Structure 1
């Protein structure tokens, strides 16, 4: 199985050999290697309140539609907009940073303490370990005050972010888990969706390197190497030299 990458809403990179990074604290790293699972978070629980929402012009357009407007376009736009609000609670996302080099900003943003880890892979390898229900692609950054994207497909709201987040250079995979009741109907009102969902993976099939935080104490490198060895993970483990003293 591989992730779906041929959907119109998911922009693909020029090369699938680009490096992807995921920064995390040591606890999340231990969960990853212990359970061999990636966890995707529900989109409405992200720190960014705009996650999975529409730009200002679209919101204004829908809000100005009259309740008694019977035009097909108006009815469709209102239905899509209303459904999107609920869909955010059934859309799960895992975020990755695309970069040929490690990022000081990402260490600061996504590693909560000095005992943090970043795993490095490639776009192709991530794609190949994901199930086909996972949609994979680049995030597109736009000005939410001035620009728009099409309303014709609900995925567009989840493949765009504000330009304020452009530094993240994000690649994401997305899985939607609609709450289906016993009558095989979508029921957002009665069924509670989980905060995260697990995705089964095999570490050795996609992780290329494991990086320890540049601010971590020296002894942690030995600990990390021992842990990785214990779990039979056959990849290079290194401590970041991002803040190593320069030589003059």
Structure 2
């Protein structure tokens, strides 16, 4: 279930967020009614869940007399799971390019408030929501008085992601996590609107609409602003 963490910066409930994904992942979400959360050390960014240089220097000093202190953070990366969302009032051309291929894919539009409501089911694990901070890892400090802080900071080169995360720490559950974990969500609360790739062909759009209908959902499927008619 969703649990508020006073240490974590959470955007306003009305903040619009997006998730861009291919059709297979979208159908898996609808059919399982579970949201996939990836193991943090499986992301492309090798710095995921690590510390900036100033923080690491401080941690090393602490670890001199307590070697296990550093080991805790190393193993934690395998036990923290994350679902990433993009903050933007409008859909993003860049996100379409990065997260979809061959002019196919979908974008889920939601809000922070809807995500919070969708996580109110009796999940086995606690979920937290936090906005990612983008910093200079050579100069800026990452606090480590909360287990989630290393996973809510990224290098400035990732600023374009404008990321907010659903995040869980499963360290106390003694699980062997491979790629990630699926958690229960209320799909109808989670999804406010769906957009189909703006460059997709009509057969693909019709296929998505038909599949959504056959699975028993009645989502608002909108036309992408990126395929609007040109006015001259």
Q: Same-fold call, TM > 0.5? A: yes
The answer for the alignment partner of 1:142 in structure 2 is 135
The answer for the alignment partner of 2:187 in structure 1 is 203
Shift, 1:179, TM fit? 6.2
SS at match of 2:141: coil
Shift, 1:136, TM fit? 0.7
SS at match of 1:154: coil
The answer for the alignment partner of 1:235 in structure 2 is 219
Shift, 1:114, TM fit? 1.7
Q: 1:60 to 1:239 in 2, by over 3 A?
A: same
Shift, 1:115, TM fit? 1.7
Deviation per residue, 1:48-107 (Å, 9 max, x gap):
0011000012223444x498x54xxxx3xx544321111000000000011110001111
Distance (Å, rounded) in 1 between the aligned partners of 2:102 and 2:76: 33
1:93 to 2:86 alignment: no
Contact residue 84 and residue 166 of structure 2 kept, 8 A? yes
Residue ranges of structure 2 left out of the alignment (5+ in a row)? none
The answer for the alignment partner of 1:40 in structure 2 is 37
Contact residue 118 and residue 187 of structure 2 kept, 8 A? no
1:247 to 2:219 alignment: no
More displaced stretch, 233-242 vs 204-213: 233-242
1:23 to 2:23 alignment: no
Rg larger in structure: 1
In the superposition, the TM-score normalised over structure 2's length comes to 0.90
Contact residue 95 and residue 170 of structure 1 kept, 8 A? yes
Aligned length: 228
In the superposition, the TM-score normalised over structure 1's length comes to 0.85
Distance (Å, rounded) in 1 between the aligned partners of 2:88 and 2:5: 22
Distance (Å, rounded) in 1 between the aligned partners of 2:62 and 2:47: 25
The answer for the alignment partner of 2:54 in structure 1 is 57
User: Of 150, 154, 179, which residue of structure 1 is paired with 2:147?
Assistant: 154
Superposed structure 1 runs of 4+ greater than 3 Å apart: 60-63
Equivalences for residues 164-203 of structure 1 within 5 A = 164-178=157-171, 192-203=176-187
SS at match of 2:78: helix
CA RMSD of aligned residues (A): 2.0
Distance (Å, rounded) in 1 between the aligned partners of 2:226 and 2:69: 46
Distance (Å, rounded) in 1 between the aligned partners of 2:118 and 2:59: 39
Residue ranges of structure 1 left out of the alignment (5+ in a row)? 182-190
